Amino acid sequence: MPELPEVESVRAGLARHLAGRTITAVEVLDPRPLRRQDGGPRAFCDQLTGRVITAAVRRGKFLWLPLDDGRALAAHLGMSGQLLVRGTGTPGPGRRAAEAGDERVGEAPAVAGGADPAPFLGAAQGPRVDMTATRAPSLVRELSVRPRHLRARLQLSAQPQDPGTGAALDLVDQRMLGGLWVDDLVPTADGAPGGVGDRAALLPAGAAHIARDLLDEALDRRGAIARMRFSRRAVKSLLLDQGIVSGVGNIYADEGLWGAGIHGLRPGTALGPRVSGRLLEAVAQVMRRALAVGGTSFDALYVDAEGAAGYFARELAVYGRSGQECRRCRAQLRSEVIGGRSHTFCPRCQTRPRLMREPRHGASRS
């Protein structure tokens, strides 16, 4: 599932291409991704046609496009959802160039002039799990009028920089675990902006339960740390709890735990305030680094709004690397299951909690 860096890359592209455009027509090819829409496809079309998109906003993995009538087009990408813009000119620098003002997220380093970082090194045939580590970024979007797995299309008003082929926003989704719907905007509980991309203290009603993310300047870090330390659950599960901090999935949880030197089985109650703070900052730092290069793409299911894949996979320290050497100490990485999710870790850098250490060969647990 796309995590915060991948969804933020999509959001930034939507903001560049869609802000200020009018939705002139809506076409629904498959109603299943609209299952959260009150009134079904007809209401979806009626409520969007003629509306102006004013911004693109994100909280955690949740996206929305505020409309000029005070509501919003809400979106969740699920496992394989893609929001692709077509027929629009590029109004500003590319996604990997420096973003100005509210478009900046965290302190991710910008790439001068919008150019990509240094080219890749490595053999042409890399391990399947690390596909993008040995390949340069490429456009994977189908440019046909009807791409495969197209579920809905929003026709958009033209702008002077457009090539004249017709501007549109496509929802392309193979597994259809995400979706689109029109939702009411409600005030935020803390009075701060609802998410990255808009200063309005509003967010969709369907996202009101989602906590702020680690790159949100309005996040109450002390409160998040207190909730983690109050729980006896494994810290890996706590990082994935979107009610504590949002936007973290399996990839960046494993990477952050490795960066902080903490095993995922350690219970929240065993974390001191400094250790908890160090862990959250480690997760935030790895997400900033991933965001700077468009996120992590293992296949063509994740692309940004312009159809380009992210390529942070080459920098992953532990995720997907079980059985390989730790980049820090050269011990062999291992994997196990915590709370139904895989966890890859270094047995030397990330010591298991004492009561959960594996028994020695031939010994039994007491």
Of 23, 103, 11, 98, nearest to 57 by C-alpha is 11
Among the listed residues 59, 61, 86, 95, the single catalytic one is: 61
Annotation says 341 is catalytic: yes
Contact between residue 9 and residue 310 where contact means Cβ atoms under 8 Å apart: yes
Cβ neighbours for 173, distance < 8 A, ≥ 6 positions apart: 33, 77, 78, 80, 81, 82, 149, 151, 179
Annotation says 3 is catalytic: yes
Cβ neighbours for 347, distance < 8 A, ≥ 6 positions apart: 331, 332, 334
Of 211, 193, 210, nearest to 202 by C-alpha is 193
Radius of gyration of the chain (CA): 21
| Chain centroid to CA 123 | 28
Q: Which amino acid is it at 234?
A: A
Annotation says 61 is catalytic: yes
Annotation says 347 is catalytic: no
Among the listed residues 104, 278, 289, 341, the single catalytic one is: 341
Of 176, 124, 111, nearest to 150 by C-alpha is 176
The residue to which tokens 């494994």 are assigned: 234
* Residues known to be catalytic: 2-3, 61, 341
